[in-house]
Amino acid sequence: MAKILIILNERKLYLLQDNQVTNSFPVAIGKPATPTPPGNYRIINKIKNPSNPALGTRWMQFTTRMHGIHGTNNPASIGTAASLGCVRMYNHDAEYLYSQVKVGTPIEIKQQQTRNPDNPDNNLTYYTVQPGDSLYQIAKKFNTTVQELVRLNNLSNQDLIYPGQRLKIPN
């Protein structure tokens, strides 16, 4: 089941499937005078090509006060606190997200990501192996070691990774 997690201080939206991060996207959030409301919500309405051009090409409403996740006609605002409380995405990202979620999809909005040292999985991210990847390239990309990736993922042979495989990556 899909879930959306938005971490306000990171200016990131995470799409999860079965509690695993499958994608992350940069976003714009509400400015200090009109902040994006933290809490737990659900998508209550979806509109393709909304009539207001400021909403970009997709609208996914999550409050009755008209907060939503949407595209934008101001892509330079992504990564900033610029909206009236909505979560803005690049249009191509909003179109992808729109295709992956439905009315009723849960949304969790948090000020910051909390790390739990008692739960080591909470200090991990996940990476999906792409064609041509090697463990060495992945380790270099995420500033870790091959040995750490082998240990975290219980790999018996570091040369046997395959496209589509999900690897745990230390933060």
Residues involved in catalysis: 70, 86
For 139-150, b where at least 16 C-beta lie within 10 A, e where not — what string?
beebeeebeebe
* Topology of the domain comprising 120-170: Membrane-bound Lytic Murein Transglycosylase D; Chain A (3.10.350)
Amino acid at 2: A
pLDDT given for residue 1 in this prediction? 85
Nearest Cα residue to 70 out of 49, 82, 87:
87
Instruction: Name 2's bridge partners.
Output: 17
Beta bridge partner(s), residue 105: none
2-110 maps to which CATH number? 2.40.440.10
- How do the domains of the chain map onto residue ranges? 2-110, 120-170
pLDDT tens sequence for the chain (171 residues): 899 999 998 899 999 988 888 898 999 999 999 999 999 999 999 999 999 999 999 999 999 999 999 999 999 999 999 999 999 999 999 999 999 999 999 999 998 765 444 444 556 777 888 888 899 998 888 788 999 899 888 888 877 888 888 888 877
pTM greater than 0.75: no
> Distance between CA 67 and CA 58 in Å, rounded?
13
Report the b/e string of 29-47 with b at 16+ CB within 10 A.
bbeeeeebeeeebebeebb
In the DSSP assignment, the letter for residue 97 is H
Residue 101 is predicted with a pLDDT of 97
